[in-house]
Amino acid sequence: MMLQIPGVLNPTQLETVRNLLSRARFVDGKLSAGMAAKKVKNNEELAADAQEINQLNNIVMGSLVQHPIYQSGALPTRIAVPFYARYGTGKQYGDHVDDPVMGPPGQRYRSDVSITVFLNEPDEYTGGELTIRTAFGDRQVKLPAGDAIMYPSASLHHVAEVTRGERLVAVTWLQSMIRDPAKRELLYEMNLVREKLLHEHANMDETKKLDICYANLIRMWAEV
């Protein structure tokens, strides 16, 4: 399941994030890549010790984790500190699958869901599409600044070469309490109906039954 998350960051937050990144120190993205990814990764990432990183995380992650689509679509149990990536002209990231297990020793987590938050407008650069392979063909994603895309980490994907301008994104991964992506999708769709009924027909017996079924399916499938 791929989900677009609109309005993760508002214009004021985006302006602050862009200003912070404009004066921050970036390093070769290969420094954070695994053995296979090093061969296809060609971008820059915010240095891990950059003084701006805490403020950036407070803005970006603080907004993301509160978004209702993120909460209901990901059903998160652990989420990683994001990478802030910059793709100038000629930069790209070839076909790859995200590492299945991430994090330092003692803080490992399984990568079930990948999230890209777009930090600048699509007309500010040419190329740079995030292309995700699905059972129905390739899906190209290039969203407005402040929006995010959430998709299964097991998906083969790449970032097309940027041929003009600069692409800025924040990328993170999470472990979901629902490991199976098909079950996550079912729960997400069920929750859309559940929330609508709770809002419009909270006292109906059918609403109460659906609410109980949703809760018990999470109880049945959750890994925490």
Q: What CA–CA distances, in Å, run from 29 to 47, 70, 111, 162?
A: 9, 26, 19, 15
In terms of domains, do 117 and 196 share one?
Answer: no
Q: What are phi and psi of 55, to 5 degrees?
A: -65, -40
Domain span at residue 24 reads 3-176
**Per-residue exposure over 64-83, b if at least 16 CB sit within 10 Å of its own CB, e if not:** beebebbebbbbbbbbbebb
In terms of domains, do 113 and 203 share one?
Answer: no
User: If you average pLDDT over every residue of the chain, what do you get?
Assistant: 95
User: So what's the pLDDT on residue 132?
Assistant: 97
Amino acid identity, residue 45?
E
User: So what's the pLDDT on residue 68?
Assistant: 96
User: So what's the pLDDT on residue 158?
Assistant: 97
In terms of domains, do 62 and 170 share one?
Answer: yes
In terms of domains, do 64 and 147 share one?
Answer: yes
User: So what's the pLDDT on residue 107?
Assistant: 87
In terms of domains, do 137 and 204 share one?
Answer: no
Q: What is the C-alpha to C-alpha distance for residues 152 and 181, in angstroms, rounded to an integer?
A: 7
pLDDT category at 82 given cuts 50, 70, 90 is: very high
Q: How many domains does the chain have?
A: 2
Chain segment 175-196, per-residue pLDDT in tens: 999 999 999 999 999 999 999 9
In terms of domains, do 57 and 26 share one?
Answer: yes
In terms of domains, do 172 and 209 share one?
Answer: no
**pLDDT at residue 94 is higher than 90:** yes
Q: Which residue stretches of the chain are H helix?
A: 11-22, 53-64, 68-74, 181-200, 205-221
Q: What CA–CA distances, in Å, run from 197 to 67, 69, 134, 216?
A: 20, 17, 31, 18
Beta-carbon contacts of 147 under 8 Å, excluding residues fewer than 6 positions away, are 4, 5, 6, 7, 8, 117, 118
**pTM metric for this prediction:** 0.94
In terms of domains, do 94 and 122 share one?
Answer: yes
